[in-house]
Amino acid sequence: MINKKIIIAFFLMLFIFPSYVIASAEELKSKNLINKWFSAIGASKVMLYFENNIVSKVYDIIWPRLFGNELASNQYQILGKEAQAALGIPKKYHVPIKKFNYLMAKFFKNGALTIPGSIYVNENQLDGESYGSRCCMLFHEAAHRKYNDGTCGLMANSCIAGLFIMLTYKLLTYPLPQKYVIWEKIRYQITICSMLCLYIAALVKYSKFIERRADIDSLFAVKCPSCILEESDARRYLFEVINHLIKDHGYLWSKDLNQIAEYLKSENNLCHYHKDKIMNEIVAFSHKCFQNL
């Protein structure tokens, strides 16, 4: 029979290890050893080269036909460049901001999506959001770009799927003894089903991990508490009012964003949009006072 140690190692890899990696928002912020290791691999030059020169070339053949190949409006290009620069992505590796075509914008409910070589935005949806929400959305996607999450996920899924197929094949083709054949088959089927369930669980855990990491890294890169509070209001509506399905996919909730915004207030950082907004309000108030004199 197949070596039991291999099956035990597979179970540990799919269940216990991802559970530790997911951790919590606090542990991700403090960057424990495994999170640092994952982040270093994702942001490494090797992974960046692999994404830019191999994976993105393959994606360019398929995805523009599905999502569209038209650049988004200028406001999203500016925000995209600011976000990628703020997250430390070298300028030569910045990717363009494209917009979903008509069909995808209508049926794909996500505000934005990062794939190797491009960041897509749903202009129909984002145009109706506050500036802070649009800013946080672009910064979140830029964090996915920073860590090459599309390529890392593709490679991780391929490796785990390959190992699962190999173990399944060995279990199915291993010669069974004549005695207790039925019970052996049942045990093999249970083992295969268990491995499949753990494989799916590992994919879900990894997805939650990268979304939580992108949220935390991007929000601290935004720095503007006013932008984060506007995004907090949007999250409260999505997660607590309409119960959107993405609320359980690893994203931070409104209360988490409020804590980050409160922390950033002490640094007294505001983006140019909210600085201009405050100045305009001061000017308007002064003008009104002058008229009343």
Q: What is the pLDDT of residue 197?
A: 77
**Residues 85, 161: Cα–Cα separation, whole Å:** 35
Top pLDDT among 197 and 5 is at 197
Reported pTM? 0.82
The residue-averaged pLDDT of 12-30 equals 49
Q: Which of 241, 216, 213 is nearest to 228 (CA)?
A: 216
Phi, psi (rounded to 5 degrees) for 98: -110, 165
Q: What's the farthest any 2 CA atoms get from each other in the chain?
A: 103
Residue 112 backbone dihedrals phi, psi, to 5 degrees: -160, 165
Residue 213, CB half-sphere, CA atoms under 13 Å: how many?
28
pLDDT at 24: 47
C-alpha span between 160 and 286 (Å, rounded): 64
Domain boundaries, the chain: 4-223, 224-293
Residue 28: pLDDT band with limits 50, 70, 90: very low
- Per-residue pLDDT of 121-146, as tens digits, reads 999 889 999 999 999 999 999 999 99
Strands 112-115 and 118-121: antiparallel
Q: Is the pLDDT of residue 257 over 90?
A: yes
Backbone phi, psi, residue 115, to 5°: -125, 160
Question: Among residues 275, 145, 277, which one has the least CA distance to residue 223?
Answer: 275
Q: Which two tokens stand for residue 103?
A: 């069909």
Measured CA to CA, the distance from residue 193 to residue 93 in angstroms comes to 42
Answer whether 139's CB lies under 8 Å from 97's CB: no
